[in-house]
Structure 1
Amino acid sequence: MRIGELAQKAGVSTKAVRYYERLGLVRPGRATNGYREYDDGHLRAVVEIRELAATGITARKTVPFLECLELGHEHSDDCVSSLAAYRDSIAEIDRIVGTLQARRAQLVARLDEGASRTFPKEKTMTDYTTLPAGLPVPEDDGAADHLPGMTVPQLTFTATDGRSVDLAGLGSGRTVIYLYPLTGRPGVDLPDGWDAIPGARGCSTEACDFRDHYDDLAAAGVGAVYGFSSQPTDYQAEVAERLRLPFTMLSDEEFRLADALTLPTFAAEGHDRLYARLTLVVRDGVIEHAFYPIFPPNTHAQQVLAWLEANPATAD
């Protein structure tokens, strides 16, 4: 089979296949005309690399698993070397988790110290970067079922970087727009009963997850990421700066997009209308996929990334 057919069957891009070749993980044959030729063994290897990547094992570390398959084993982890690779990856994750927990504790301490100087009225700062336990899980009410296949309306919104962004002019390729109700600020109370509303809590954690996986989304073919809410641009800009977001946010105080696409919204204390949490994957001016409902929001960017990897754009 040719490279395009292999990529399509394996659920990856042709660029990924070429990358695996450069690493020496896939070694295709050559036809008489010089074109690369792949067989079912190559297909199985590429699928294995993709599946291992979903667990956090990089392509460079898949050698023991591929060698196990080449030895004729039914499963890539039937070999002792593969099990050792699992243990090494788990140990590396444990090390990273320990480092991140220590850093987080330092940051929370500095946040509390800095915020207590800036906001003296609030003695105990609410930590908006984590989710409390026991949050209600939103149910799918079908409010987004109609969105895939719809054309994005020609609406222009102000971005936190000062640009005006026309949704109908996003260009070719994929764009991710994640809609959220509102983000909290240190020293500013969330609406009463906020945590009791299914899917309401977690906007800052969602933004951080998109921040932390921004490069991964770009590598998966996403040309741009936008946060989108009804909050004013200056409010969004403060959040983008405080959370060090590598992408911009769009403000829709009048809910023009909600009215144009019949998007789900809800009310909360002090807010007559807020956007429900929803993410759109837009491709060439058309909504390709809609994520709704979203829970938990603190890992939602990873959910989007997994969908992109499972549904790659057409092969080169």
Structure 2
Amino acid sequence: MRIGEVARLAEVSPKAIRRYEALGLVAPTRHANGYREYDDDTIRLVREIRVLNRLGIPVEETRPFLECLVAGSEHGDDCPESLAEYHRAIDDLNAQIDVLTARRDGLVQRLREAAYRRSVPTPAPGVDDPLSLPTGLVAPIDDGAAVRLPGLRVPALVLNDTDGARIDLAELGPGRTVIYLYPLTGRPDADTPTGWNDIPGARGCTPQACGFRDHHAELRAAGVDRLFGLSSQTTPYQREVVARLGLPFTMLSDPGFRLADELALPTFDFDGARLYKRLTLVIRAGVIEHVFYPIFPPDRHAAELLRWLHHKES
């Protein structure tokens, strides 16, 4: 058969077959008129080269497998020399993986350093800034999920906070406690997930936290004895946020959505994960005194809460 037919049956290009010939890996029969004639054994050899090359073995290193086939073996790796080549190829790939991993880790570290270095100053135009809200966000609507909450007693749930304490929500004391629930906070070295800004009320967890930070002293003066953020993110993740943003309050981790299940709090799904909808509970003497829901824009929510407190005490 001609080279074009071999190329079609072996799923390679004629140019590749000519290269294999130049390397002495395949040897067609040559007629007196100069034409090359290929047989079924050539197709088998070319297919073997193609498969091995796709696995990362260079064409030049496939010779042991081809010699094994030519010697009459059913498979190209039935011979000890072929197994030795497997080991060599695996060792070579492991070395490449180590080099690439080191390069990736170096880039990740530089990205992290650069991102965190500019996480407080105003970013360059066009760069997504986790400390501010983009224009055009869609406000969430009130779906009635919080109507039944005022007057309910807070369940006896113990959650971990970022100071290492275990907070019993039923033992918060007689004073006023504020717990603001949020979906998740981003980090400077990670892009905003695709589609996140399109979810009404999702964007803005970091600006909201900064708002509570900036109004913390005023909230305490207005009668808030304890303030917590709460999400389903892990305590170590939240601890980094508290440290990076300089928050004067701690955060509670509820990865199992125990509070949501006890009080039927609103949640939503995003990219296969369940998340809390943004909601703030004002608790007094173990009872939910007031609920803010929906919340928009989140970066102004601390000031909104402060106005409510002043009105409540006036």
Q: TM-score range by the shorter chain?
A: 0.5 to 0.7
| Equivalent residues of 2:112, 2:189 under 8 A apart | no
Name the SS for the 2:313 alignment partner: coil
> 1:287-306 deviations in whole A, cap 9, x for unaligned?
00000000000010000010
Tell me by how many angstroms 1:114 deviates: 3.0
Q: How high is the sequence identity, in percent, across the aligned residues? A: 61
Counterpart of 2:261? 259
Segments of structure 1 that go 5 or more residues without pairing to the other structure are: 1-110
| Equivalent residues of 1:220, 1:309 under 8 A apart | yes
Counterpart of 1:274? 275
Tell me by how many angstroms 1:270 deviates: 4.0
Name the SS for the 1:311 alignment partner: helix
Q: Does 1:233 align with 2:235?
A: yes
Q: 1:186 to 1:129 in 2, by over 3 A?
A: same
Amino acid corresponding to residue 136 of structure 1 in structure 2:
V
**Distance in 2 (alpha carbons) for counterparts of 1:115 and 1:143:** 37
> 1:154-193 deviations in whole A, cap 9, x for unaligned?
0000000000000000001100000000000011233320
Show the 5 A alignment for 1:241-256: 241-256=243-258
**Distance in 1 (alpha carbons) for counterparts of 2:211 and 2:155:** 27
**Distance in 2 (alpha carbons) for counterparts of 1:242 and 1:181:** 18
Counterpart of 1:287? 288
| Greater relative contact order structure (CA < 8 Å, 6+ sep) | 1
**Distance in 2 (alpha carbons) for counterparts of 1:112 and 1:268:** 25
| Equivalent residues of 1:125, 1:186 under 8 A apart | no
Show the 5 A alignment for 1:64-83: none
Show the 5 A alignment for 1:168-183: 168-183=170-185
Counterpart of 2:224? 222
Name the SS for the 1:161 alignment partner: coil
Counterpart of 1:309? 310
**Larger CA Rg, structure 1 vs 2:** 2
> 1:12-45 deviations in whole A, cap 9, x for unaligned?
xxxxxxxxxxxxxxxxxxxxxxxxxxxxxxxxxx
Counterpart of 2:199? 197
TM-score w.r.t. the length of structure 2 is 0.60
| Equivalent residues of 1:194, 1:200 under 8 A apart | yes
Tell me by how many angstroms 1:312 deviates: 1.8
Amino acid corresponding to residue 289 of structure 1 in structure 2:
H
Amino acid corresponding to residue 227 of structure 2 in structure 1:
V
Q: 1:150 to 1:116 in 2, by over 3 A?
A: closer
Tell me by how many angstroms 1:127 deviates: 1.1
Tell me by how many angstroms 1:125 deviates: 5.2
Amino acid corresponding to residue 163 of structure 1 in structure 2:
A
Tell me by how many angstroms 1:212 deviates: 0.2
Q: 1:181 to 1:302 in 2, by over 3 A?
A: same
Name the SS for the 2:289 alignment partner: strand
Q: 1:118 to 1:243 in 2, by over 3 A?
A: closer
Segments of structure 2 that go 5 or more residues without pairing to the other structure are: 1-110
The aligned length equals 199
Q: Tell me how large the CA RMSD over aligned residues is.
A: 2.2
Which of 215, 218, 234 is equivalent to 1:213?
A: 215
| Equivalent residues of 2:132, 2:207 under 8 A apart | yes
Q: 1:151 to 1:192 in 2, by over 3 A?
A: same
Tell me by how many angstroms 1:115 deviates: 1.8
Counterpart of 1:47? none
**Distance in 2 (alpha carbons) for counterparts of 1:206 and 1:276:** 13
| Equivalent residues of 2:140, 2:296 under 8 A apart | yes
TM-score w.r.t. the length of structure 1 is 0.60
